[in-house]
């Protein structure tokens, strides 16, 4: 089942912070985050695995709450280059675990 992302779209001014949420109705093994700029391929940001870890690099980080079956992506002090659509992908347990992607959150950073 497709994970639910919120918000669907957000506009930020440079320097502002944003949080993108991803929730699933199924028990999760992993959560992927990707960013896609218009007309380009999705680019991998990070993976969080079962265990409730938090990851991050530069000013982008993410958390994974497996009990709540949720992940959140945190973008701090946003830059123009952060603009794009952010997708979460969730992996569930059992066999060849498939990754199911949400419909995305469109983020626009303006000067």
Q: Which residues contact 15 (CB under 8 A, 6 or more apart)?
A: 77, 78
**Shortest distance, CB of residue 19 to other proteins, whole angstroms?**
19
Does 26 bind other proteins (CB under 8 A)? Our answer is no
**Shortest distance, CB of residue 64 to other proteins, whole angstroms?**
12
**For other proteins, the closer CB: 16 or 108:** 108
From CA 3, how far away is CA 32, in angstroms rounded? Answer: 11
Q: Could you give phi then psi for residue 49, rounded to 5 degrees?
A: -105, 160
Length, in residues, of the chain:
111
**Shortest distance, CB of residue 13 to other proteins, whole angstroms?**
25
From CA 87, how far away is CA 89, in angstroms rounded? Answer: 6
Binding site for other proteins (CB under 8 A): 2, 29-30, 32, 34, 40-44, 47, 49, 87, 89, 91-92, 95-104
């Amino acid at each position: 089942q497709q994970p639910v992302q919120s918000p669907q779209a957000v506009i930020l001014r440079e320097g502002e912070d944003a949080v993108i949420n991803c929730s699933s109705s199924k028990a999760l093994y992993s959560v992927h985050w990707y960013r896609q700029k218009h007309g380009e391929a999705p680019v991998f940001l990070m993976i969080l695995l079962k265990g409730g870890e938090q990851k991050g690099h530069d000013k982008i980080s993410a958390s994974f709450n497996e009990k709540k079956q949720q992940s959140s992506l945190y973008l701090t002090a946003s830059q123009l280059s952060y603009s794009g659509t952010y997708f979460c992908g969730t992996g569930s347990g059992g066999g060849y675990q498939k990754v199911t992607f949400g419909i995305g959150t469109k983020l626009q950073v303006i000067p």
